Amino acid sequence: MSLEAVVQIECCRACASTALDTVFDLGSMPLSDGFCASATEPDARYPLQVLFCADCGLAQLAHTVAPTILFADDYPYYSSYSDTVVENARANVAAALARHPVSADGLVVEIASNDGYLLQHVRNKGIPVLGIDPAAGPVAAARKIGIDTKHAFFSSAVATELCDQGLRADLIFANNVLAHVAELSSFVEGLFYLLRDDGLAIIEVPYLRRLLDHGEFDTIYHEHLCYFSVTALERLFRRHGLFLNDVELIDIHGGSLRLFVERRANPSLEVRRLLDEERADGLDTAAAFQGFAHQVQDLRAHLNTLLRDAKARGASIAAYGAAAKGTILLNSFEIGPDLLDFVVDRNPHKQGLYVPGVKLPIKAPETLDRQPPDLLLVLAWNHKDEIMRQLSAFAQDGGKFVIPIPEVQIVGA
């Protein structure tokens, strides 16, 4: 592990306090999206430890793996491979433009615009768009469908550069990016600069409350540097002259917050309600993680027993979805080739590669028709309804789904 590859933080990523307590530790884990070209390729492993800031309430990783390693040119995540994500984007755009109309001479910016899955819906309405994304593959895919995209990590410097070109945004989307940002303050400062005085930023982040309530420990991985509560977010924005004025709870990615952020304070009743609720339930202190490690241990025992018993009875088992979270679940629970035959995923960028650590081969979903397993472990459990719908024939033929989270569940036809 070279020095530049990973850095241990010395103070809170949001407020610079040094009052940080360790609340959860997964030891050393391979990179969740670091898919391998061969089964023998050695894996880089990095510590995966969650700290809680006593001052601002932000849960965060103790270590930062260099973004250039995490989001390299072969970064395999393409939003458009999930119908739910694309549909969510379409509905999100329609609702956003209803809430905050933008004219044909305005500008809508998406930060972490990936392959253009969201901005295409804005562009189709005749509104100018600009995407910003650091991953070369998805940027190329976005440009191919005509979405103007800047290839960069968003920061205060990038925002200033755009402002200098006379660009400011009426509407900014930033979905599932805030938790990935190593330079959190620079990012939020950049939002402040880029947003017009009367602009609106709509930001989606996975919600810490759902992670804890549903035992979604596998969403803790090196790409996710922060685990947000409303309390921590409200303080973070305020520190940079921005205000959390409204919030919606949405189901995407295991339970997320959709935040509405502006340059003037006008908090809704829902923001106040969630802040009160978090305080009453102790989500603003490290006690929020009490019992979490035990909950994960119980899940591990339950899932391993189920799979090992099935295997001992001669069942064949495969997994569905080479999701980033799947890498963590398989590696931390030590579920490898002795139990599973393969993993299928419909993203062709992942097919032919191996899941890091456990080195399970990733194949196309059609493999299930030729080699149907008795049990299918659904690693992309957040998409379980979409997946089970697609595989109704597998279930009709007697195949069973194992859903690991929020609790181990076997589902048949």
Residues that bind ligand JHZ (CB under 6 A): 77, 81-82, 176, 223, 253, 321-325, 345-347, 350, 380, 382-383, 386-387, 390
Task: Work out how close the CB of 165 gets to ligand JHZ at its nearest, in angstroms, rounded to a whole number.
Answer: 28
Task: Work out how close the CB of 72 gets to ligand JHZ at its nearest, in angstroms, rounded to a whole number.
Answer: 13
Selection from Zn ion, ligand JHZ, none that 325 binds (CB < 5 to 8 A by kind) is: ligand JHZ
Task: Work out how close the CB of 77 gets to ligand JHZ at its nearest, in angstroms, rounded to a whole number.
Answer: 5
Selection from ligand JHZ, Zn ion, none that 223 binds (CB < 5 to 8 A by kind) is: ligand JHZ
Which residues, at least 6 apart from 48, have a Cβ–Cβ distance to it below 8 Å? 25, 26, 27, 28, 29, 61, 63, 220, 221, 222, 328
Q: Considering only 9-17, 124-132, 254-262, 357-365, which stretch makes contact with Zn ion by CB under 5 A?
A: 9-17
Q: For Zn ion, which residue of 29, 48, 53, 201 counts as binding (CB under 5 A)? A: 53
Exposure string for 170-197, b = 16+ CB within 10 A, e = fewer: bbbbbbbbbbbbbbbbbbbbbbbbbbee
Q: Are 358 and 335 in contact (CB under 8 A)?
A: yes
Exposure string for 253-282, b = 16+ CB within 10 A, e = fewer: bbbbbbbbbbbeeeeeeebeebbeebeeee
Two structure tokens written together for 184:
């959190």
User: Among residues 11 and 140, whose Cβ is nearest to Zn ion?
Assistant: 11
208 makes contact with Zn ion (CB under 5 A): no
SS3 category, 277: helix
Selection from Zn ion, ligand JHZ, none that 401 binds (CB < 5 to 8 A by kind) is: none
User: Among residues 79 and 156, whose Cβ is nearest to ligand JHZ?
Assistant: 79
Q: Are 381 and 401 in contact (CB under 8 A)?
A: no
Q: Considering only 10-18, 27-35, 90-98, 374-382, which stretch makes contact with Zn ion by CB under 5 A?
A: 10-18
Q: Are 155 and 187 in contact (CB under 8 A)?
A: yes
Maximum separation of any 2 CA atoms in the chain, in Å: 67
Q: Which residues bind Zn ion (CB under 5 A)?
A: 12, 14-15, 17, 53, 55-56, 58
